[in-house]
Amino acid sequence: PTPGRLKKTIVMVGMMGAGKTAVGRALAARLDVPFLDSDHEIEAAANMSIPEIFSRDGEPFFRLKERQVIARLLEEERGVLSTGGGAFLSEENRTLITEGGVSVWLQADLEVLWNRVRHRDSRPLLRTSDPKATLRELYDARVPFYEKADLTVKSDGQASIETMVDRVLEAL
Ligand code: S3P
């Protein structure tokens, strides 16, 4: 893509811990386009953190807001959009994303994901008695959906953020 110009928004999808936000932000900087983040927009609109939204209003409410935010961002602006790990599961969201953007699955192995999320407390879905087992269950259930993304880019434990940006640009 030409810096500063995109035909379609580049939408980062994949599991929590895959690097969607870090890589998406660096990719947007490299391309000189806006960086958009659906989780961040949901939090800003609600004036609450994601764990607070989940505990006060429940996951279905969060998913509703997520869909609205993704639709709005895809319509308003072209840039790089990082989505939450559950965003690409609903058919409605996939249709929105596929029509309005080009989806990039940041694929990472379970161990890599676990090492990145294990010390954080920001993911309400992992607040279980065995968060690693929960992550594995989510991973197994979600991979078939992520595989529907337009492009797949491998995120291993070693690759730097800038290397990941190179890989996405090669794939585009
Ligand atoms: C979720 C992932 C989170 C956030 C919410 C739900 C999920 O985003 O949207 O906690 O369903 O996997 P990240 O993938 O950025 O952690």
* ipTM metric: 0.98
- Averaged over 143-160, what is the pLDDT? 95
Pocket of ligand 1 contains residue 101 by CB under 6 Å: no
CA–CA–CA angle 42, 143, 156 (5° rounding): 90
C-alpha 2 – ligand 1 centre gap (Å)? 30
Say whether 17 counts as a known binding-site residue: yes
pLDDT of 121 reads 84
Q: Decide: 90 and 20 in contact? Cβ < 8 Å.
A: no
Q: Is 19 annotated as a binding residue?
A: yes
pLDDT of amino acid 144 = 98
Q: Is 24 in the pocket of ligand 1 (CB under 6 A)?
A: no
What is the mean pLDDT of the segment spanning 17-29?
97
Residue 26 CA to ligand 1 center (angstroms) comes to: 19
Pairing assessment for the beta strands 9-13 and 101-107 based on DSSP bridges: parallel
* Residue 76 C-beta-side C-alpha neighbours within 13 Å: 12
CA–CA separation, 35 vs 81, rounded Å? 6
Tell me the average pLDDT across 41-64: 97
List phi, psi (to 5°) of 14: 135, 180
| Mean pLDDT value across the chain | 96
Query: Any bridge partners for residue 80, and if so which?
Result: 10, 35
Closest CA to 33 of 89, 91, 101: 101
Determine the atom of ligand 1 nearest the C-alpha atom of 117.
16
Residue whose CA is at the smallest distance from ligand 1 atom 16: 16
Q: What is the pLDDT of residue 125?
A: 95
Tokens of 66: 């997520």
Q: Is 89 in the pocket of ligand 1 (CB under 6 A)?
A: no
95-129: per-residue pLDDT in tens? 999 999 999 999 999 999 999 999 888 899 999 99
Q: For a pocket test of ligand 1, which of 122, 125, 134 has the largest count of ligand atoms closer than 8 A to its C-beta?
A: 125
Map out the domains of the chain with their CATH numbers: 9-155 (3.40.50.300)
For every residue of 88-141, DSSP letters joined together read TSSHHHHHHHHHHEEEEEEE--HHHHHHHHTT----GGG-SSSHHHHHHHHHHH
